[in-house]
Amino acid sequence: MIINIPSKNDYQDVGFECLIQAYKNICQIDNEELIEGISRDEMWNYNRIVLKTSIILVHQGVEALLKSKISEKSALLLIEQKKSEWKTLPESDNIDFSDLFTISGNELIRTFYAIVEPNTYPNEFVIFFENLRLLRNKLVHGIGDVVINPEISLNYILNSFTYLYGKNAFWRALKDKFYNHPGQLEDSAKFVFGEYEQYIHIVYLEALLGKAEMNIHFDVEFKARKYYCPECTGEGGVLVTGSGEVSEYPNFKYTFLTPNEPTSTIVKCLICENSFEIERNDCNKEGCKGNVIYTDEEERDEITGEVYDEGVKICLTCNEIQ
């Protein structure tokens, strides 16, 4: 009997871990090691091994995710040995699944497409997987002078999620990885992944990949007009500049009309994922051409019912009270 047969979740956890770790390695260097006086190219030339290992991690991650998809049918399809070599007859001793050889490469992608419904996954995924496999082999075996940069690695990471799990899959996996960390329960900023930290990641990705690429991986239109979020804006407190100017922080705009039409009366925030009703009235502040107005709800005392905080109207374009 074959024992300890893995489930789809076992492989999926490994796949997500590889991909998120590859992302974290790149993001950490870009955000912590880039200092004034050193060019980004110089810094990444020094850290080129990180880019190589990121591609290796992505390849391992994608193979694990393919195995996860195949395991939805049966993990036994992953066994490479001929069935005549399986030690499964009554007189045989048990054998652990991990002791068996499993398929990879061309056999893996062919087995994957043998068990999925037609047109469930784009045909381009075959080319993507082959390019990833060839790039990984060149890096592992040192064939030629392969030049890669953070943007190439990030594209491979996000495409891996999007091809196999659809839009927003990378973002959900990234948030789940941070939110499930045991350190989230402690008073330590190191493991916090609140609205402020999420904004930083979105800004980082958009700056490197561009709006068109972001549209491929998220279900919002990055080329559309963005608005302040009634919930997230200012959750981190205030930011005081050297000149003494004070503003709410974070104050990034990643809230979008849903749908993106001139008459829409709903906006949704990419970060907190909350939806809000808005009015389509012109902002009364000079110089602002916004017409997306949110009315903050009044707050009442739970016992007396007395209003202690009257609702105010806020323009989500300039974040000014009307």
Least confident segment among 75-89, 210-224, 266-280, 282-296: 75-89
Separation between Cα atoms, residue 268 and residue 37, nearest integer Å: 40
Confidence of residue 170 (pLDDT cuts 50, 70, 90): very high
Do strands 307-309 and 299-300 pair parallel, antiparallel, or not at all (unpaired)?
antiparallel
Report domain extents, the chain: 2-166
Model pLDDT, residue 256? 96
Confidence of residue 288 (pLDDT cuts 50, 70, 90): very high
User: Which residue, 283, 237, 275, 281, is CA-closest to 259?
Assistant: 275
Confidence of residue 101 (pLDDT cuts 50, 70, 90): confident
Separation between Cα atoms, residue 174 and residue 165, nearest integer Å: 14
State the chain's mean pLDDT as an integer: 87
Model pLDDT, residue 32? 82
Least confident segment among 32-36, 101-105, 168-172: 32-36
User: Which residue, 259, 315, 250, 255, is CA-closest to 289?
Assistant: 315
Separation between Cα atoms, residue 88 and residue 94, nearest integer Å: 7
For the segment 241-253, the average pLDDT, to the nearest whole number, is 79
Model pLDDT, residue 281? 94
Confidence of residue 183 (pLDDT cuts 50, 70, 90): low
Least confident segment among 42-56, 114-128, 304-318: 304-318
User: Which residue, 212, 199, 108, is CA-closest to 155?
Assistant: 212
308 pLDDT above the threshold of 80: no
211 pLDDT above the threshold of 60: yes
Confidence of residue 185 (pLDDT cuts 50, 70, 90): low
Whether the CB-CB separation of 283 and 322 falls below 8 Å is answered with yes
Give percent of the chain above pLDDT 90.
57
Positive/negative CA dihedral, 263, 264, 270, 274: positive
Model pLDDT, residue 181? 59
191 pLDDT above the threshold of 60: no
Could you tell me the two tokens for 130?
């082959």
For the segment 152-173, the average pLDDT, to the nearest whole number, is 96
At 26-52, the pLDDT tens digits run 998 998 887 878 889 999 999 999 999
* Amino acid, single-letter form, for residue 233: T
Confidence of residue 301 (pLDDT cuts 50, 70, 90): low
Least confident segment among 95-104, 157-166, 260-269: 95-104
